[in-house]
Structure 1
Amino acid sequence: MAESPAAEQLESVLNTTVERSTNSSLDPPTEAPGEFVSLHWAEIPSLVIALVGLVGNSIVLWLLGFRTQRSPFSVYILNLAAADALLLGSYFGYVMWEIVGDLKSLFQSLLEDCLLNMSYCVGLSLLASISTERCLSVLFPLWYRCHRPKHTSAAVCAILWALTGLFWGVLVALYFLNKKHFFRYYILLYFIQFGWFSLLTCVLGLSSLTLVLRVQCSSQRRRPPRLYLLVLLTVLVFLLCGLPLGVIYAINFFSGSSLMPYELCRLLACVNSSANPFIYFFLGSQWRRRGREPLRVVLQRALGEEKVGGEGGGALPTPTLWINYSEDENKMLRLGSP
């Protein structure tokens, strides 16, 4: 049976990627400065952004993992920071490998792409889960408060990591077990990935739109909680910077053409993963207070859990902070001191 055109197209695309990576991994001393900059015009700033994002996400991982009390929402943010750190770290290693190394093996290119795509898919899945859960907490506050299973966040995160890791693990295993028909299997797996990407994008868009409408209706009576602003800003940054990578990759797979350079899409994806920690600390800061606050306090203020406000769920929930103040600070708060 002859190989399908789509398989031939995929093999050509992957071989072109490896060839481009090999050509771009020239020895830097033999390149003119202008030629080096023209070849890596997007990789150079993306490396800087990736390093900054790695530092920010590492701080979030340290604070949420070891220094703060866990809440249902902070579990999602902890896993999202891990996915962002994996994407940024994989991208940094991949680009450095392209610049100073010799990326000739198709398996090496496939492995790096799997790490990047796996972290990208996990991040998208977590964002869709976060947005959906916040939407449910607004539409059905009493049910969410009373009947939500205790370990839902941890279970959802574990399932998402397991499914995504299994998917890309099967892809790498197929490369070793059946190289002859690997591209034919890859097409089938890619259609599964594309369907999952489309489903998550629709869920993310609908739940975010519902949350925006709810916040807009309630903002006339009271200021919306930081938690909802955090979710909306994180989703907005993803739609502007993270979504183009998946869209361009799908267009390139089906049509062989690209609307924008692939390097630029990866640069935007690095911006998306690096921006999340800054969103958390920006929303958690209180600019009117004098003096510096610990990052732990700032982060937990941004990720404060919610109480159901009003009767029948008519009002937006107000955030309840999970901050471990000292005994003296708790006394001051009870007395109403600033």
Structure 2
Amino acid sequence: MNSTSDYEGDYDGDYLNELQKKVKAGNPDDFRAGHCKDALCVITVIVNVIIFLLGIVGNGAVIWITGFKMRKSVNTTWYLSLALSDFIFCSTLPLSISRIVMDTWIFGLFMCKFTSFVMTLNMYSSIFILVIISVDRCIAVKFPVWAQNRRTVQRASLVVLLVWFVSALLSIPAAYFRNVADKPHVVICYSHYEHHHSTIVFTRFTFGCLIPLLMISTCYSILICKLRSNQISKFTKPYKIMTLLITAYFLCWLPFQIVSIVELSQTKHSTAMYRAQQVSVTLASVNSFLNPLLYAFMAKDFKKKCYSFLSKIESALNEET
């Protein structure tokens, strides 16, 4: 049995009662931990393992390059923050993989809360940094002299710290309402929002999707108009990288947001909803390893020199400066 208390699903306490009834009505052996035999479960495990490996290696490379090899700049500060956020999230994926394979949670209450907190922190910090990058580019193009005098690494670092602080505050509910429950043959790590479920979901959608999308769209409109009027072409590649990063984020996270909203209208947890949540969570996780691949893909002669992955990431990030 694949319990619907998925790694990051929004599940109310009513689900526990449903599970208890199923256990009493069926064969207890059907509900013991360690069942991962259906195709979706196996595919999910394989994809999460790939995300973990690529995410740790790729983001670790970006952290090494931006933190130790490249000259400190405003742009490297932004991308170092993105890589740190994704790296921390990827480091918790083995716990998720274990839960999927064993179909039980063995890591206790603290880690149940912590993994939920980390995933939400990754969502907020990533999109907030992408918004900051968009605003920063907009200011640099619209007010180049002011930006040249005021854009410093110290101020960028303070902005990053503020972003992480706000992201952490917004992520507290994800940990606060997370809990574990011991049921026959399984331990469940689940979200019990009580009557706050709608508030949590719409807050997450508003600050993690809607407002950032509006701000990024506004910045892009200003940038496009300004660049076209000045016929500036030397910024083509950096803006392509920025566009890809933003597009990848929304493609990966938007299904998760939509499924969370749709779930609010569900009176009980169906198999279809469980599968939709499982797929949307996995797709959201994919975003955590895409950024290093995008840096490398946008570097020059990528197809001819795939073997020089680290140098290509450094090349792409250098072009950002």
CA contact (8 A) 1:248 1:259 kept: no
CA distance in 1, matches of 2:118, 2:69: 28
Superposition deviation, residue 207 in structure 1: 2.4
- Give yes or no for the alignment of 1:282 onto 2:297: yes
CA distance in 1, matches of 2:89, 2:40: 24
- Tell me which moved more, 269-278 or 75-84: 269-278
Deviations 1:151-195 (A, max 9, x none): 23211111111122234346645779xxxx963466555554343
CA distance in 1, matches of 2:245, 2:21: 36
**Alignment gaps of 5+ in structure 1:** 1-7, 306-318, 322-338
The amino acid across from 2:296 in the alignment is F
Secondary structure, counterpart of 2:233 in structure 1: coil
Paired residue for 2:166, among 151, 163, 168?
163
- Kindly report structure 1 stretches of 4+ aligned residues shifted beyond 4 Å: 13-20, 104-110, 173-176, 184-191, 212-215, 218-221, 254-260, 286-294
Secondary structure, counterpart of 2:104 in structure 1: coil
Question: What TM-score results when the alignment is normalised by the length of structure 1?
Answer: 0.69
CA contact (8 A) 1:57 1:85 kept: yes
- Tell me which moved more, 138-147 or 245-254: 245-254
The amino acid across from 1:54 in the alignment is I
CA contact (8 A) 1:75 1:153 kept: yes
CA distance in 2, matches of 1:276, 1:18: 42
- Tell me which moved more, 74-83 or 87-96: 87-96
CA contact (8 A) 1:212 1:232 kept: no
Deviations 1:75-124 (A, max 9, x none): 11001011112222223421223313622877764443222112111111
The amino acid across from 1:118 in the alignment is L
- Tell me which moved more, 71-80 or 228-237: 228-237
Paired residue for 1:237, among 241, 248, 266?
248
- Give the equivalent residue in structure 2 for 1:196: 207
% identical aligned pairs? 20
- Give the equivalent residue in structure 2 for 1:336: none
CA distance in 1, matches of 2:120, 2:16: 15
CA, structure 1 residues 183+107, in 2 after alignment: closer, same or farther (shift >3 Å)? farther
CA RMSD of aligned residues (A): 4.0
CA contact (8 A) 2:120 2:174 kept: no
- Give the equivalent residue in structure 1 for 2:119: 116
* Greater relative contact order (Cα < 8 A, sep 6+): 2
- Tell me which moved more, 184-193 or 90-99: 184-193
Report matched runs for 1:1-338 at 5 Å.
10-12=12-14, 26-27=33-34, 35-100=37-102, 102-103=104-105, 109-148=112-151, 150-169=153-172, 172=175, 183-184=194-195, 188=199, 190-197=201-208, 198-212=210-224, 214=226, 217=228, 222-253=233-264, 261-286=276-301, 295-296=310-311, 298-304=312-318
The amino acid across from 2:145 in the alignment is L
CA distance in 2, matches of 1:206, 1:267: 30
- Bigger Cα Rg: 1
**Alignment gaps of 5+ in structure 2:** 1-9, 23-29, 180-191
Question: What TM-score results when the alignment is normalised by the length of structure 2?
Answer: 0.72
CA, structure 1 residues 219+246, in 2 after alignment: closer, same or farther (shift >3 Å)? farther
